[in-house]
Structure 1
Amino acid sequence: MIVNPSTSLGFGHFIAQADVVGKALLVILLLMSAVSWYLIVMKGITQFVRKKRSEEFLRFFWNASSLDAVHNEISTHGVRDPFAHLTAHAMHAQAHHAKYGAAKLEEAGTAQDFLTRTIKKVLDEETMRLENGLTVLATVGATAPFVGLFGTVWGVYHALVAIGMSGAGTLDKVAGPVGEALIMTGIGLAVAIPAVMGYNWLTRSNRVLTAKLDAFAFELFTFLSLGQSLKGDNVRPLPSGSRPVGKASPAHAA
């Protein structure tokens, strides 16, 4: 019986004929794909929840009658988003310095100096939290194509060695094994492309949120430094969806 050679070629045949190195590279690519998709899905869900909660807090903040009302809201419902986290730490730092003064080295300087350091520290913490896991996505996107290419080179090498030892160098004998080896390059690209796209999307979202958080930090520092409620002479209460007049954008939407 004559067997069509094309029916014996394909991904399954390639895996069956691959040695330990080839199979190890395939496992590495599959693990890289699983990790990248896990990060994309989990961080995507986290971004959505964080954005929704931030919008709710900012809506309450800019419509609150005073900073005391904001403090009561945070004390009641806790901190669930970066903006509430920043506000809680900033208000606590102001109250702590007013009550105890510069009792420790980290509290040295004026109340505004201590407040500035606290806000910068919280901003750095939020930035690190947002960027957590992005290095893995960037690494997968940058290295997966080369891992697949190495698997292709390794497979082509062994295929050519086997063909050379058999003495059959015709095109139909060479094209099949070489074509099978190219599968590894395709797998590498299939792993890298989602990782790169996910990295770019998450980086863009983080950059937008960080910019809005910086703008909000400026407004918060101003309110706390003035020591006035939102009903003071210089700051008027804000209707829903409006922004402070003459101020930088307070980032109503996360």
Structure 2
Amino acid sequence: MISRISGLLAAIAFAATLAISPAHAQDQKPADAAASAAVDTAAPAAAPAAAEVSKKEDNPYGLKAMIDHGDAVSKGVLALLAIMSMGSWYILITKLWDTQKLANEAKDARATFFKKASLAEGLKSLKETGAFRYIAASAIEASEHHEGALTENIDHASWVSMNVDRAVGEVNTRVQGGLGFLATVGSTSPFIGLFGTVWGILQALTAIGVAGQASIDKVAGPVGEALIMTAIGLGVAVPAVLGYNWLVNRNKAVMGQVRAFAADLHGVLMGNRQVAKR
């Protein structure tokens, strides 16, 4: 009896196994089919994405396209703006260096020159190629060499003052050098960019007239070049104007220190003159 029951249970278990296996196989097949369909769907979706990335990289209306396909006028305007921009930045950097160097010389002159025992020692304490050394040497030479038929009609104080002012004026001229270029770039580069804009619009209208229809591919390229020229013109003008105003203020501060040194030096020379007369 027990053996019969065991055989019956075994038969039921075997039948259940056969019934479950086909259902599991059917479930596995749709899952595999869904996965394959997802892969097939993702592949076409990836292709347009790659094409879109390539399309963005090859922008037909950007700066590179303008350089590659632009005419002589547009390339000339772009080259002129590039030269103006490079010149502006060169002047900004070099003048910043010069004014900082002059400010350091002024600090050293205040700390050392007037504390020396004599003008000769004070002159040696100044930087050999510096502006303050040039002013001091000019003033001392004018004080020691006040002779000549014509210069005798000028009193000693006026003669020294004239030479000091002349030396300060030459230093000021060197400091102010290059500011005219910045002013020119700041005032003209927007109009040069505007000329590029007008030329681009003219090219667009010409392309429309030749084609006989206002299609986007005939208009977008030249108009894109026009807008790029306008942006570049403004990008060149703004740093030049800001740099000009900044350097003017720095030059005023530095030249104030130079004139103060010249005035003190003139007073020292006149004091030595009075002592020598006594």
Q: TM-score range by the shorter chain?
A: 0.7 to 0.9
Q: Distance in 2 between matches of 1:223 and 1:87?
A: 11
Of the candidates 59, 62, 80, which is equivalent to residue 114 of structure 2?
62
How far is 1:185 from its partner?
Answer: 0.7
* Contact 1:11 1:180 (8 Å CA) reproduced: yes
Question: Which residue number corresponds to residue 72 of structure 2?
Answer: 20
- Is 1:33–2:118 an aligned residue pair? no
- Letter of the aligned partner of 1:186 in structure 2? A
Partners of 1:42 and 1:183 lie apart in 2 by: 29
The answer as to whether partners of 2:88 and 2:182 remain within 8 angstroms in 1 is: yes
Q: Within 5 Å, give how 1:35-184 maps onto structure 2.
A: 35-73=87-125, 78=128, 80-97=129-146, 101=147, 103-106=148-151, 108-170=153-215, 174-184=219-229
Deviations 1:199-247 (A, max 9, x none): 1221111111112222222222112112179xx9xxxxxxxxxxxxxxx
Give the TM-score normalised by the residue count of structure 2.
0.71
C-alpha displacement of 1:184: 0.3
- CA displacement 1:40-76 (0-9 Å, x = unmatched): 11222222222222211221023324434314435xx
Q: Specify which structure has the bigger relative contact order, considering alpha-carbon pairs within 8 angstroms and separated by 6 or more residues.
A: 1
1:167 CA drift (Å): 2.4
Partners of 1:54 and 1:82 within 8 A in 2: no
| Residues 92 and 45 of structure 1: CA distance in aligned 2, closer, same or farther (over 3 Å) | same
3-state SS of 2:154 partner:
coil
Question: Once the 2 structures are TM-superposed, how far is the Cα of residue 7 of structure 1 from its aligned partner?
Answer: 3.9
Indicate conservation of the 8 Å contact 1:119/1:217, yes or no: yes
Aligned to 1:168, the other structure's residue is in SS state coil
Calculate percent identity across the aligned residue pairs: 37
Q: In the alignment, which residue of structure 2 is the partner of 1:247?
A: none
Distance in 1, Cα, partners of 2:138 & 2:255: 17
Match of 1:185 among 227, 230, 254: 230
Q: Is the 8 A contact 1:108 1:114 kept in 2?
A: no
- 8 Å CA contact 2:123–2:133 kept in 1: the answer is no
Correspondence list, 1:243-254, <5 A: none
Give the letter aligned to residue 25 of structure 1.
Answer: V
> Following TM superposition, by how much is the alpha carbon of 1:191 offset from its aligned partner in structure 2, in angstroms?
1.2
Larger radius of gyration: 2
Cα gap change, 1:106/1:21 in structure 2, threshold over 3 Å: closer, same or farther?
farther
Q: Aligned equivalents of 2:125 and 2:99: distance in 1?
A: 23
Moved more, 171-180 or 30-39: 171-180
Deviation at 1:123, TM superposition (A): 1.4
Amino acid at match of 2:72: V
2:154 partner amino acid: G
Q: How many residues align?
A: 222
Alpha-carbon distance between aligned partners in 1 of 2:98 and 2:149, rounded to the nearest angstrom: 36
Segments of structure 2 that go 5 or more residues without pairing to the other structure are 1-50
Flag the structure with higher helix content.
Answer: 2
SS at 1:44 equivalent: helix
Farther off after superposition, 194-203 or 119-128: 194-203
Residues 122 and 180 from structure 1, CA distance in 2 versus in 1: closer, same or farther, beyond 3 angstroms? Answer: same
Distance 1:107 1:127 in 2: 28
Secondary structure at the counterpart of residue 145 of structure 2: helix
Tell me the C-alpha RMSD between the 2 structures.
2.7
